[in-house]
Each structure stands twice: as C-alpha cells, then as structure tokens.
Chains A and B, each alone.
Chain A
Amino acid sequence: MEHAEILHRCFRCGYCKLPGSYQDLNCPSYLQYRFETYSPGGRMWLLRAWLDEEIPSSARLQEILFSCTACGNCVEHCVFPKFKADVLNAITAGRGELVNEGSVPRRVSDFFKAIHLYGNPYKLPEADRGAWAKGLGLEPYRGQEYLFFAGCAGSYDERGQKMARAVAGLLKDRGVSFGILGALERCDGNEVRAMGEAGLFEEIARQNIAQFLDAGVVKIITLSPHAYHAIRNYYPRFNGIFQVLHYSQALARMMSKGKDQGADTPLTVTFHDPCYLGRHNQDYLTPRMVLAALPGVELAEMDRARVDALCCGGGGGNFFTDLLGSGPDSSSRVRVREAAATGAQVLAVACPKCAKMLEDAVKAEALESALRVMDLAELVQARSV
C-alpha cells in the first residue's frame, strides 16, 4: 500500500483531532463517533494492523475508513513535520486497498456504480446536466476566456443548481467572457479520488482533460472547491494543465476595484471556509476579500476559522454516502451552532456541498429564523444594485 511506511510512525498523540486552539474536537468522524478508532491516528494504527493481518477486513473497518471526510484537519495539525503531509494520503491509500479488495460499504460501491453508469452520483441522465442553466442565456463553451465548470452538485443538486445559477448570473452580469459545457460536462472525479478509486479517477481525469483540450480550454472557473482541487492539483499528473480559479477568486478579481455599489444596510456575516479551498489549497483570504468589498457587510469570524475551520462533514465522499451520519454531534450541526453563536445573520459558504450540508443543519437545529446560509455569489447578488 502506498504510504504504508508511515503508518507505524504515528504516535497517536491526538493533535490531529483538534484545531490549533484545542477548543473542541475538529475531526468530523471522531467528533461524531468518539471511539479512538475513528480518529486519524486510530485509522493509521488500524490500517497497519489490517495490513499485518492482526485484524480482519470487516464492515466496521470499512465504515471507519470511509467516514473520514478528508477535510485535512489532521494534516494541518499533525505535529510530525516529516510525514504529516501524507497522513490523509495514507488513509486514502487505505481506502484504495479496500476498493481493490472489493471490500467497501454498500453506499460507497453504489456511488462508484452510479459514476460508472450515469457519470454522476445522482443517477440522473447526463442529458439533464445542463438543465441548471436554463433561462440564463449562457453560451456554450467555444473558445471564450473561461470555461465555467458547474460540477455534479452544481448540475444536479437543487441547492447546488441555485448556487451555480447565482455564480453564472454574476459572471454574465459583470461581462466575464465564459461558456459552459452543459450536457457535455462530466464529473470532475474528486470524490472518486478521495474515496480511493484511483483507476476510475484517472479515467475521468483523462476524459475531462481530452475534452477540455479539444475545446481549447485554457482557463477554468469552478463552482465547487472540490473540482478546483482536482483540476488544479491532480489533473496536471495526467498532463492536464489549466489555469483554474475557484469562483470566489473570479469574484474577487471582478470586485477588486473597491467596494461594490449596492445595498448598505448593516449585515453581519460569518464565513465557513470550505476545506478544499482552505486547508487543501490555502486560500483563506479571497472569500474574505469578497465579503469585505460588500457594502454594509461586517464579518464576524467563528472561533474555528481558516486552518481551524470545522468541516461541514460533506467531504471525502460523505456528501453522497453519508457514512458520517446525522445527530447533534454531526459536524454540520456543531458548525451551524458555532455560526449562530457569532450573532451573524448569514452563514456564508463557497461550496455547494457546504451549502447543502449546512442548510440542512440549520433546519435540524431550528435556527432558520436566526441564520441563513448563503453562498458568496448569492450575497454579492443580494447586495448589488
């Protein structure tokens, strides 16, 4: 197994379970399950035990490995500089071993099957992929400056579609030259990769790269930080080198000429850093620049922000497999309670998965009257003239 050589080097000191402030548990699966086995160090030791045949492959081992949200908190806070970068890679590789062995939870195999058969995890027709853009008058991609990549959540998920429409609408209003692939777009593959199906990810990446290159794509704006991560950091391994922007970065460029004009009634906003923009790509500033450019908006940070942000629980495939489960200790519910405690009226997000996870959590916590989940583009639209 790749990275097997670091498994025994984990001391299980537990820094990986916490944010930098140590204030509370910051590993979503450990927060939810509380057994040591569900912590990053627990996974490292179990993987080693499994490879050494000290424990058998089991449904529980699968659940333990696949409930990791790949949020990167462990990588960020591990105190072992010589191998910390590969802690999450080792867990992903462990998932890969289970995939190769054919021992994965049913929900995970269903996810892979859906990608194989439908090209998306929603099991919806590929022909419907561009339906989110209906009525917006967006152009198909034919050599414009940017390709806007909506991704699976932006194409099929109701909350994601709303967000994709907000982003694309803004880009259009601000005169950005861009096109979409519509029904021709394919899954970016990030969750497939994070769930350890390296072969399928490579296939998806190569198909996308070929399509992008054929169409002459040079610059891409992604809706999802997950797609941003895959295209920016993994497609180059297959010679797919593109200039990739997350949509918040595109918005920041559009808004870089000072405060936006528009509504300036006071509005307190707290921002939830998406893991794949923040910890995985170290961009904490751009979304805050967007918020700072909005008239009347005051940013109230949560205690856990930037490198310490608590994941919404939707990463690593859990948005689709839900192996993390629900309940008051699910990270999405803990997160919205934390957001509400800031006194903010709006919980701003920059990822369709976060939007959905946190919106559901707001309902579960009965916080609808106090806290509204809005993505950055929706906020910009709402505050614009």
Chain B
Amino acid sequence: MEEIYRELVKIVGERFVSNQPEERFLYSRDPGTMEPHAPDWVVMPNTTEEVQKIVRLANRQKIPLVPMGGGLVLSGLSRPLQGGMVLDMKRMNRILEVNEASSYVVVEAGASQGMLQAYLKKHHPRLKHSIPDAPPIATIGGNVLIHGSGHLSAAGGFHSEMLNGLEVVLPTGEVARIGSCSASPYWFSRSPLPDLAGLFLGWHGTTGVVTKLAIKLFPARPWNDVGIFVIEDPELAPDIIRRLARVQVAEDILAWMSPKPDWARGFQMINIAYGAETKAELTLKRNLIRESVRPYLERKVGGFMPLPPDMKVRFLEAPQSTLAVFADVNKGGGFEYVGAIMPVELFAPAFRKGLEIAERRKVPYSLGARIVGLAHCMMFFYAYAFNRADQADVRRAQTALEDTNALVLEMGGIPWKAETPAQKQIIKKMDPNTFALMNRLRAVLDPQGIMNPGNWEA
C-alpha cells in the first residue's frame, strides 16, 4: 500500500494524493442514499499524461480505479465499491478552445458547468452550452458521460448527443481520440466515422477515463422569456408537451409537480423557456407557443400562469439554484432521485404511480420531467428528500427509490445513472445478447477489470 502511495506521489506530487482517513471518508460517499465504500487513495491528476501513468500503475497492480467529476451524481456511481483509487478529475478544468464559427468548445473533463457558463458569457456572449440543473460545480465531462440533459435539451437532445468528440485514456493506458478530432485538427463532429463514443457514454467509468471533450454550443439570445402552462389532468400532458415541443421554439420544456409551494399543489406546471434575437421575435415565439395549445385554452382545461418579472428571472436561472434546497425540506440535508428516461406518452402513469409511492413510503417528494428533443422522450424525475442524520429516514427514501426504479422498468422506462442495485434490475430486463456484448467489449477494453468494478455487473 505504501509503495503504491509513493508511486502516486511520483506521478502527481504529494499534495494531490491522499490515503488519509479524512479523504477516504469523504470520497466514500456522495450526497445520495447509497452506503459508503472507502477508497484506499484519492488522486488528483493535472494532465492526460498523469492520468495515463496512474492507469498504467493501476493496471500493473490490478487496483480498481474510479473516475470522479463533481461527485454529484447522487446515485453513488463514484463510490469505489471494491476500494482502490478515486481519480478526482477536477484539477483538469481548462477550457481549451472555443470555435465560434463551428459552435463548439473543447474542455478538459473536469471543467465545471459554471466555469464554462461564465467563460462563455464573458468571452463569447453570443454562445452558450446546455447546462444541467445540477449545481454549477458539476463537471461537463461527468454530465455528458452519464447522458445528462439540461436547459437546451428541447433544442438539442441529451448532452451526450451534443458531444462532438473526446479524448480518453483507455484502461490499458493508451490515449485514444474519438470523433473528427481523431483525423482532423477540428472537433466539429462524431460523424462520419465509426462512432466509438458509445464505448464511453453511459458506462459509468467502466471503460476508460475521459480527459477532454468537445461539446456543441448554441446561440445565446439577448431576449429571453419563460411561460408556465398549467393543467390539472396529467392525462393531457403528453399531447400538450408534444404540441409545445413541435413548434420548435422552446429551448427547454420542464414539467414539475410538487406539493410545495402551496399554490402549486395538485397542478402540473409546464415551463417553456425560449429566446429570441429581437423583442418582435420573442413576441412571435410567445404567440406560436400560445397557438400550439389553443385547443386546451379554449376548452379551459389549461392556461398560462401570469408570472411577475422576479419569478420569471428565477425560472430562467440556469442552473436552478433552488433545486438543491429540496434537500432541506425537512431539515435533513439529503435527497436523491430516480431519473427515468421514458417516452412522453407515459407521463400520466409515471406521475400517478410516483405519487402513490411517495405517499405509501411517506417521503417528501418532488416530481417532474425534462423534455428531450421534440418530445422524443423525457427524463421523468422522482426526487425524495431524507434526513441524513436519521438512518430510518434514509432507509425509507432508499425503499422509495427502489420501488420507483422497479416501477420505471415495469412501465417501459429506464432508470438514468442508476444505482448499482438498479443497474442489476436493468440488466435483468435487458436482452441477454446486449449484456453479453457489453461484457465482451468491456473485457477487450479492460482486461484486468480495474475500471469502476461493481458497475454494470449482473
């Protein structure tokens, strides 16, 4: 153990390696409900070359290696289930290139969402990236690799769909470039080459350590607005969402259903955020959105909520800082959610059955759905708060999450960034040949089985 520590010190310097109880404690857990698993070492590389050396060391010594971004996934994916090293990537946070003409940015994998947002605002104010509603310290790399979604997902789909290319250190230590950057100085696209990015997306760090990536940028409009369409019948939601999305005006469509604040209880609120180059264009877009749901307005089964300017500002905030506050709903400091990727047509049963689970398990809840693409699918979230200081309460939330994961799979959805028990549930439902292919690929890429072991295992 001591020898490994010394090797790591040689690679990254003494300041950026720890085998101390404090780091072992903190990196053994995330803010969600999953039980802790302590690493033996926490390492913070600064360059791709350092990552290579660490991976080679882990390979030689057959030591588990778990890459970590912001550590905010909540489902415990960066806990080292079999000990070994946690690779905290946040020192690798440089913004390497913004290509205004082709609208992309190349960043190191540990660059934070907030840092990129601020950088673009300052240096490229006409461009923005799709920021998730995770706290701004969350990393771009981490979110793309788990198939995140965000404030431009109605326009651009999942964040993994906005990925133009990446640089990855393979589990055996070689560096590979994926996408146009493998054959060109430009990081403009994953096409037209064989799309190897899929070997690293959604794998929870079991196939390599991504060190750089390029993502698409979108226009940052000077005029922005948000409307909230309110309904009382969840059965109406899929058609309304489809109509709102298919106008192709919205940057983000987010439904939310929560018992708090009191005025929102019992309703389904659908936020539609959009931007424009001019005031006239904004008005036109507002009218288009309104027209899209006119049948519902005429039947008086839905309507746009009047929003005072300060509330609009709050709803246009990206990321939504108020979301984290849900953790303190019962002075408990914790929440976790099942993010279910599912078809929009399942909105009503997803909502009703989610409510049943929350009430049955007596957990404070917040439900909602981020629409991906032109209502091609949604990330329906079931968030449950818990009191971190009360183990029984943590267990209650865990049970609600387990019930929800089972429910989602039963309905035909798939839990997103699933906890390891939920991964096993997914595997059970998965075509055996698909899982066999996953295992074959993994065995080829990671012959020693060092990468985040315990994940995507039956």
Q: Which residues of A line the B interface, CB within 8 A?
A: 8-15, 17-18, 21-24, 33-37, 42, 45-46, 49, 54-56, 58, 60-61, 64, 79-83, 303
> Are the C-beta atoms of A79 and B20 separated by less than 8 Å?
no
Q: Which residues of B line the A interface, CB within 8 A?
A: 15-16, 18, 20-23, 25-27, 31, 42, 44, 70-72, 88, 90-91, 112-115, 117-119, 121-122, 135-138, 321-322, 324-325, 327-328, 331-335, 387-389
> Are the C-beta atoms of A13 and B333 separated by less than 8 Å?
no
Q: How far is the CB of A324 from chain B (nearest CB, A)?
A: 12
Q: How far is the CB of B327 from chain A (nearest CB, A)?
A: 4
Residue of B nearest to A12 (CB): B31
> Are the C-beta atoms of A18 and B25 separated by less than 8 Å?
no
Give bound CA distance, A199 to B136, whole Å: 39
Residue of B nearest to A303 (CB): B122
A9-B332, A14-B137, A79-B324 known; A35+B42 contact, CB < 8 A: yes
> Are the C-beta atoms of A35 and B328 separated by less than 8 Å?
no
Give bound CA distance, A35 to B20, whole Å: 11
Chain B residues positioned under 8 Å from A10 (CB to CB):
333
Chain A residues positioned under 8 Å from B322 (CB to CB):
79
> Are the C-beta atoms of A24 and B115 separated by less than 8 Å?
yes
Pairs A–B under 8 Å by Cβ, sample size 15: A9-B333, A12-B71, A13-B31, A14-B137, A18-B136, A21-B114, A22-B136, A36-B26, A36-B88, A37-B26, A46-B26, A55-B25, A60-B22, A64-B22, A81-B325
> Are the C-beta atoms of B22 and A18 separated by less than 8 Å?
no
> Are the C-beta atoms of B324 and A15 separated by less than 8 Å?
yes
Chain B residues positioned under 8 Å from A9 (CB to CB):
327-328, 331-333, 388
Chain A residues positioned under 8 Å from B335 (CB to CB):
11
Q: B70: which of A14, A49, A56, A303 is its contact (CB, 8 Å)?
A: A14
Chain B residues positioned under 8 Å from A83 (CB to CB):
328
Chain A residues positioned under 8 Å from B22 (CB to CB):
37, 46, 55, 58, 60-61, 64
Given contacts A14-B136, A60-B20, 20 further A-B contacts (CB under 8 A): A8-B332, A8-B389, A9-B327, A11-B334, A11-B335, A18-B136, A21-B114, A22-B115, A22-B136, A22-B137, A23-B119, A34-B91, A35-B23, A36-B88, A49-B25, A54-B25, A55-B21, A79-B321, A80-B325, A82-B328
Q: Classify the interface of chain A: helix, strand, loop or mixed.
A: loop
Give bound CA distance, A14 to B31, whole Å: 11
Give bound CA distance, A21 to B119, whole Å: 9
Chain A residues positioned under 8 Å from B332 (CB to CB):
8-9
> Are the C-beta atoms of A15 and B136 separated by less than 8 Å?
yes
Q: How far is the CB of B397 from chain A (nearest CB, A)?
A: 14
> Are the C-beta atoms of B21 and A13 separated by less than 8 Å?
no
Give bound CA distance, A55 to B327, whole Å: 24
> Are the C-beta atoms of B388 and A8 separated by less than 8 Å?
yes
Chain A residues positioned under 8 Å from B31 (CB to CB):
11-13
Give bound CA distance, A51 to B23, whole Å: 16
Q: How far is the CB of A50 from chain B (nearest CB, A)?
A: 9
Give bound CA distance, A60 to B31, whole Å: 23
Give bound CA distance, A25 to B15, whole Å: 18
Give bound CA distance, A347 to B91, whole Å: 28
> Are the C-beta atoms of B328 and A33 separated by less than 8 Å?
no
Chain A residues positioned under 8 Å from B114 (CB to CB):
18, 21-23
Q: B16: which of A18, A34, A61, A303 is its contact (CB, 8 Å)?
A: A34
In this complex, the member of A10, A22, A79 whose beta carbon has the largest number of chain B beta carbons within 10 angstroms is A22
Give bound CA distance, A55 to B115, whole Å: 33
Q: How far is the CB of B142 from chain A (nearest CB, A)?
A: 13
Residue of B nearest to A52 (CB): B389
> Are the C-beta atoms of A11 and B26 separated by less than 8 Å?
no
Residue of A nearest to B326 (CB): A11
Residue of B nearest to A10 (CB): B333
Q: A15: which of B21, B26, B113, B137 is its contact (CB, 8 Å)?
A: B137
> Are the C-beta atoms of B21 and A58 separated by less than 8 Å?
yes
Q: How far is the CB of B449 from chain A (nearest CB, A)?
A: 27
Chain B residues positioned under 8 Å from A21 (CB to CB):
114, 118, 121
Q: How far is the CB of B164 from chain A (nearest CB, A)?
A: 23
Chain B residues positioned under 8 Å from A8 (CB to CB):
332-333, 387-389
Chain A residues positioned under 8 Å from B334 (CB to CB):
11
Q: B115: which of A23, A33, A36, A64 is its contact (CB, 8 Å)?
A: A23
A10-B333, A36-B88 known; A23+B42 contact, CB < 8 A: no
Q: B90: which of A34, A46, A81 is its contact (CB, 8 Å)?
A: A34
Q: How far is the CB of A103 from chain B (nearest CB, A)?
A: 14
Q: How far is the CB of B306 from chain A (nearest CB, A)?
A: 25
Chain B residues positioned under 8 Å from A46 (CB to CB):
22, 25-26
In this complex, the member of B31, B88, B137 whose beta carbon has the largest number of chain A beta carbons within 10 angstroms is B137
Q: How far is the CB of B24 from chain A (nearest CB, A)?
A: 9
Q: How far is the CB of A370 from chain B (nearest CB, A)?
A: 21
> Are the C-beta atoms of B327 and A11 separated by less than 8 Å?
yes
Residue of A nearest to B135 (CB): A13
Residue of A nearest to B91 (CB): A34
> Are the C-beta atoms of B26 and A80 separated by less than 8 Å?
no
Chain A residues positioned under 8 Å from B88 (CB to CB):
34-36
A11-B31, A14-B135, A34-B90 known; A79+B16 contact, CB < 8 A: no
Chain B residues positioned under 8 Å from A24 (CB to CB):
115, 118
Give bound CA distance, A36 to B42, whole Å: 10
Give bound CA distance, A36 to B15, whole Å: 13
> Are the C-beta atoms of A80 and B388 separated by less than 8 Å?
no
Closest 5 CB pairs of A and B: A22-B114, A14-B137, A23-B118, A9-B333, A11-B327
Give bound CA distance, A343 to B156, whole Å: 39
Chain A residues positioned under 8 Å from B327 (CB to CB):
9, 11, 13, 80
Give bound CA distance, A61 to B18, whole Å: 13
